[in-house]
């Protein structure tokens, strides 16, 4: 008896999908932990980076900039341990959409700024070119990870999976 490629794929997907979810969850966790960790030491710089987008009043931008590293760190920790994964992933997806829109807006308006995604950000020095397309593509890649986790949030080696008590392969999500 021979198995068709379709049957082989059907057998492999249930075994592989949970581990792809682990990779997506840990990858997204790493992104948030690095992003928040690089900004948490200088909250004023993070506020200036948000203000550089010129879409919010200065006081609002600085408050959001100061809070953002803590939100990113919290998302990273939740995803790292796999707790409230669907909620953390939903917030992650929403933030990534806002980030892509902000970068696209800065690009469309001719601003020369560093996105501040993994550091202080803000206005670029004269003659320094922004790298908007790679930043947007990177964030779209992170958004794809979030989309995968929104579809299949329960993964092995996670608090969510442990609390559910059922093998991840048996879920009907």
Render pLDDT for 16-43 as a digit per residue (tens, 0 to 9).
Answer: 899 999 999 999 999 999 999 999 999 9
Classify residue 11: in a domain, yes or no. Answer: no
Instruction: Let me know: does 158 contact 82? Beta carbons within 8 Å.
Output: yes
Classify residue 63: in a domain, yes or no. Answer: yes
Residue 127: burial class (beta carbons within 10 Å; 0-12, 13-18, 19+): exposed
Question: Over the stretch 89-116, which tens digit does the pLDDT of each residue have?
Answer: 999 999 999 999 999 999 999 999 998 8
Q: Structure pTM?
A: 0.87
Both tokens of 167, joined, read 């093998």
What's the number of domains the chain is made of?
A: 1
Q: What average pLDDT does the segment 42-65 reach? A: 95
Question: Using 50, 70 and 90 to split pLDDT, how confident is the model at 7?
Answer: low
d(CA 54, CA 42): 20
Both tokens of 171, joined, read 């879920």
The secondary structure of 26-85 as a DSSP string is HHHHHHHHHHHHHHTT-HHHHHHHHHTT-SS-HHHHHHHHHHHHHHHHHHHHHHHHTSSH
For helices 85-108 and 58-81, the axis angle rounded to 10 degrees is: 140
Closest CA to 35 of 119, 120, 143: 119
Classify residue 87: in a domain, yes or no. Answer: yes
d(CA 82, CA 40): 23
> Which residue range(s) make up the domain with 123?
18-170
Is residue 172 predicted with pLDDT exceeding 80?
no
Classify residue 3: in a domain, yes or no. Answer: no
Question: Over the stretch 123-169, which tens digit does the pLDDT of each residue have?
Answer: 888 888 899 999 999 999 999 999 999 999 989 889 987 887 756 55
* First-last CA distance in the chain: 32
Q: What is the pLDDT of residue 106?
A: 96
- For the CA atoms of the chain, what is the radius of gyration? 19
Q: What is the pLDDT of residue 4?
A: 65
Question: What mean pLDDT, rounded, does the chain reach?
Answer: 89
């Amino acid at each position: 008896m021979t198995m068709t490629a379709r049957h082989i794929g059907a057998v492999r997907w249930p075994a592989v999908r949970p581990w792809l979810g682990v990779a997506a969850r840990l990858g997204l966790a790493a992104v948030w932990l690095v992003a928040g960790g690089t900004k948490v030491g200088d909250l004023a710089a993070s506020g200036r980076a948000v203000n550089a987008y010129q879409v919010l009043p200065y006081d609002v931008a600085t408050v959001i900039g100061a809070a953002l590293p803590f939100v990113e760190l919290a998302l990273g920790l939740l995803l790292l341990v796999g707790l409230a994964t669907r909620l953390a992933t939903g917030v992650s997806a929403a933030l990534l959409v806002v980030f892509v829109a902000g970068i696209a807006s800065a690009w469309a308006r001719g601003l020369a700024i560093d996105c501040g995604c993994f550091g202080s950000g803000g206005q670029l020095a004269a003659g320094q070119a922004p790298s908007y397309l790679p930043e947007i593509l990177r964030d779209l890649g992170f958004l794809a990870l979030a989309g995968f986790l929104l579809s299949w949030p329960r993964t092995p080696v996670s608090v969510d999976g442990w609390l559910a008590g059922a093998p991840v392969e048996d879920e009907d999500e």
